[in-house]
Structure 1
């Protein structure tokens, strides 16, 4: 899906549109494993657009498309399992999509309310974040930094696979922390 199609709703009046620089950005997650250890991973293929006012350090909108086939946890077997029908079912659902609906706050206290779609299921989520600033790089491009995090319950999106442990616990926790570190180039 095109990010431009997702972003057609952007609110007028803000100073600039920023496109993510995937070489200097990270879309990550952390989930509990075996009831006590946290496993982290990230996605390597994504695109994002952010509408923001650098002077006020505010956002008006954000949209992202993340390729589920790009999930990486540094363990090939685990990555393959996450791409399988037990989790993301990447063959059937190749993209996760986020579209903001409302943004509040500025600077280091921004809340982005939006819809996240995983496996064809769309649910509202809230990301807490910051507009980290804007600088010109050595090649004359204006870049801005954004950070955000949020929490979802994976079962809300149909990611229900689990295995019961002998001790009575489960292999995979339900709560997934999402973390975003974004460097974007002003259009």
Structure 2
């Protein structure tokens, strides 16, 4: 079955440690995704996502501007972030997705884990399912190396970034020929 992302019921979120004492959270407001599942197993067989890096939102305009700058995402030269699954294993309730994540023109393999719901019919007769996955990356591996040393030791922004995608998808409607 072919699925398309319902962006009104989806979130692409990230978090980092700030000064090693607190967590700063952010999200991307604009993205698209599609996928396919095997009708027999219910497991995804294909999954891809494209994120508009210019839509980064941390609820702080100054910080968002810095994240869009060449110090981080460099959205003028790299306006998109993409993910394409290369291997999907497990069960719908214990899903592992390995894929290629591209940020700033650098592609690295990442592993996301989570779960996929069983399809259900919504009040308008459409088939829907949801997926929730999370993982962790090192931002320095994608060229996001800006940082500032702290007087007491450590750095301003952690290298580890936690990622979470929560999304609802709608089955593509086939049009009769």
Segments of 5+ residues of structure 1 without an aligned counterpart are 1-15
CA RMSD, 1 decimal: 1.0
- The count of corresponding residues between Structure 1 and Structure 2 is 172
Deviation at 1:57, TM superposition (A): 3.0
More helix by share: 1
Residue in structure 1 matching 2:85, options 86, 100, 114: 100
Segments of 5+ residues of structure 2 without an aligned counterpart are 173-177
Q: Is 1:59–1:106's contact at 8 Å kept on the other side of the alignment? A: no
Residue in structure 1 matching 2:128, options 143, 146, 156: 143
Find the residue that maps to 1:133 and give its secondary structure: coil
Q: Is 1:54–1:134's contact at 8 Å kept on the other side of the alignment? A: no
**Structure 1 residue ranges (4+ consecutive) displaced by more than 4 angstroms after TM superposition:** none
Instruction: Spell out the pairing of 1:21-170 with structure 2 (5 A cutoff).
Output: 21-53=6-38, 56-170=41-155
The TM-score with structure 1 as length reference comes to 0.89
The TM-score with structure 2 as length reference comes to 0.94
- For residues 168 and 54 of structure 2, the distance between their equivalents in structure 1, rounded to whole angstroms, comes to 22
Distance 1:131 1:55, change over 3 A: farther
- For residues 144 and 55 of structure 1, the distance between their equivalents in structure 2, rounded to whole angstroms, comes to 15
- For residues 65 and 89 of structure 1, the distance between their equivalents in structure 2, rounded to whole angstroms, comes to 16
Deviation at 1:151, TM superposition (A): 0.6
